Structures are given as C-alpha cells and as structure tokens.
Structure 1
C-alpha cells in the first residue's frame, strides 16, 4: 500500500507543480514566477550546505572526542529536508520545505513525522514473526533457505590453515591437517 502511494505521489507531484506554476505565472507573470523558483532553489541549497556542514562538524567533533553524536539529529534532519524541498523547483515543494524550516510550524511537522514513524514501526512489528525485526527479505525468507533445505547439515566450506599454540611445541603452522581434522 505504501509503495502504491509513493508511486502515485511521484506521478502526481510534478503534474501538480506544473499546474500551480501555470496559475502563479498567470497571476504574477512568468518571469517573476521563474525568479521566485530560482530564489527558492538558491535559498534551499544554502540551507542544505550550511546545515550539512554543521552536522558534519558535529559528527567529526564527536568522533574525535570518542563520544556519540548529540541526539539533536532530528532537528538537523528536518532542516536539511526543508532545504532539499526548497531546492527542488516548484511552489508546492517550497511551501512544504518552509513548513519544515519555520520555527512556528516546525513542532507540528516534527509531531506529524513522529506519528508517521511510530505507525510504520508498529506495522512492521505486527507483520514480523518473532521478537526481532525479522528477515530483511520480508515474507520471502532468505535466498539461502532453499539450499539449506536441500542439503541439511551442510554449510559453507571455509578453506584455511590451522595454527596451533600448544605448550611445549613451538608456535607455527600445522599443515598436516585441514580444518576437518584429516
């Protein structure tokens, strides 16, 4: 269901952006509409660059000091997402990008995002058998399941050499046997 919505969004958003651009162009003039789109793209790229540098510096500082990065990542991620939406040409994406960036609309967007993620995690937990996150292959299982079922007890063959470190014997290679003990 989510994939279908994403496909529809990818098809509908450009069409809606064109319709809105035509309406705005008729209302204020084509050249002014193009100038507004260019200004929005420039502003978005500046926001992404600034926030990206800030996040990169914070990550480097945390890594150099041996600590985990600060938990303020969702705010930085929202700012970067808003900047990306502003950088994409279109008035609708600019409006959504501004909702991510403006201080008085940011808590609303953060709450919507948190609810969306909570629902997605809850749906994943209900569909997944067992206590963990389950197979990354979804309900299909692992591609190696069929091989394991055809040859029970067999596993991958790992070639190598045995190095024994026993008291009384000099350390070194014991090449007279392979890994199976033969």
Structure 2
C-alpha cells in the first residue's frame, strides 16, 4: 500500500512536471496550456458518450437476463478515465485515453473481470477489499460465516389431529357451562 501511495503522490506528479516542461519548451507556454485544456474537454465528452454506450449495453444484457459484469467493470474504468483526463498533464491523459478507448478498454476490463471471478471462486465469496480473504469485515453477526452458528435441518408440515370445528364446539361448551373447568387451587383448603 505504501508503494502505491508513493507512486501516486510522488512519482506521477514528478513525471507530469517533467513532460509538461519538455512540451512547454518544444511548443511554448500558451500552446501547452491550451493543449492541456483541449485534452480535458475532449476527454470528458468522450467519457460521456462511451458511458452512455456502456449503459445501453448493460440495459440490453439485463433485458436478456444476462449478468453485465464486464460492462460494470468498463463503467468503473470510464469513471477512472474521466478523473485522469481532468487532471492536468499528459501522462495521466495518456492513461485515461487507454482506459477510454474501446480497443484497449475491453481487454483490460475482461482481464479484471476474470480476476474478480477467480477471487470469488477461490474464496467462496467476494472479499470486497476488507481484511483477509474469507474474513468477515462486519463482525461475527454474519449468518454465512460458517463458524457453527448455522443449523441444518428438515421440516414437514403436520395436520391438526382434530378438525378445527371440534375445537370450536369445545370452546362453545365451556362458555355455556356444559364442561367442567379444572381449577388450580392451593392445597390450603384441606386444613
């Protein structure tokens, strides 16, 4: 995790500054700034159109009763591409364009989706990024934690031994006084 944070907050900005300085020397200051704004505007409009296309593909798959797993991964990649294209710089724009272009996005999304499926199969359930694989992140209250809190059994529905009308007749006799009701009196009466 430390290595990823080091990469994101130190190495990527250093690369961005280096590339911006080199492009600024070659093109000049104002054309470089204009190019940064141009890539951001074009990138955001492409993210919107590709996002709508991906959303329609998801709806079509859902209408056919199929799981749109890869399309959901592609949607997450499009969101990341939008963020990368809005960050000023050419390195993040290049990575954002890789995630945005369908030719490169589809194979990357297919690979990531297969990896997620393998993780689910290997662990028995999706870890979701919390703790170790198979560890319950929400405490021991989960009924699926396989720690002896689940009971396995069978049941069968049985009919009442007496029909319902017999119960009604017995209640009617008690109310009318035909049946003697047992009383629970203490043994003090025998003195």
TM-score class, shorter-chain normalisation, is 0.5 to 0.7
Q: In 2 relative to 1, CA 51–80 (structure 1 residues): closer, same or farther, beyond 3 Å?
A: farther
* 1:70 counterpart residue number: 68
Q: In 2 relative to 1, CA 109–72 (structure 1 residues): closer, same or farther, beyond 3 Å?
A: closer
* 1:151 counterpart residue number: none
Q: Residue 46 in 1 paired to residue 42 in 2?
A: no
* 2:135 counterpart residue number: 134
* 2:4 counterpart residue number: 6
Q: In 2 relative to 1, CA 86–116 (structure 1 residues): closer, same or farther, beyond 3 Å?
A: farther
Q: Secondary structure at the match of 1:18?
A: helix
Q: Deviations over 1:101-158 (max 9, x none)?
A: 345544664476468768987797xx54xxxx32226xxxx499xxxxxxxxxxxxxx
* 1:87 counterpart residue number: 86
CA contact (8 A) 2:51 2:78 kept: no
Decide which structure has the larger Cα Rg and report it.
2
Q: TM-score, normalised by structure 1?
A: 0.53
CA contact (8 A) 1:85 1:97 kept: yes
Q: How does 1:157-168 map to 2 (within 5 A)?
A: none
Counterpart CA distance in 1 for 2:118 and 2:64 is 34
Q: In 2 relative to 1, CA 117–8 (structure 1 residues): closer, same or farther, beyond 3 Å?
A: farther
* 1:149 counterpart residue number: none
What are structure 1's unaligned runs of at least 5 residues? 145-166, 170-182
CA contact (8 A) 1:48 1:84 kept: no
Counterpart CA distance in 1 for 2:105 and 2:50 is 16
Say what the alpha-carbon RMSD is for the aligned residues: 4.2
Q: In 2 relative to 1, CA 22–116 (structure 1 residues): closer, same or farther, beyond 3 Å?
A: farther
> CA offset at residue 94 of structure 1?
1.0
Q: In 2 relative to 1, CA 116–37 (structure 1 residues): closer, same or farther, beyond 3 Å?
A: farther
Q: TM-score, normalised by structure 2?
A: 0.51
CA contact (8 A) 2:70 2:113 kept: no
| Pairs aligned (count) | 137
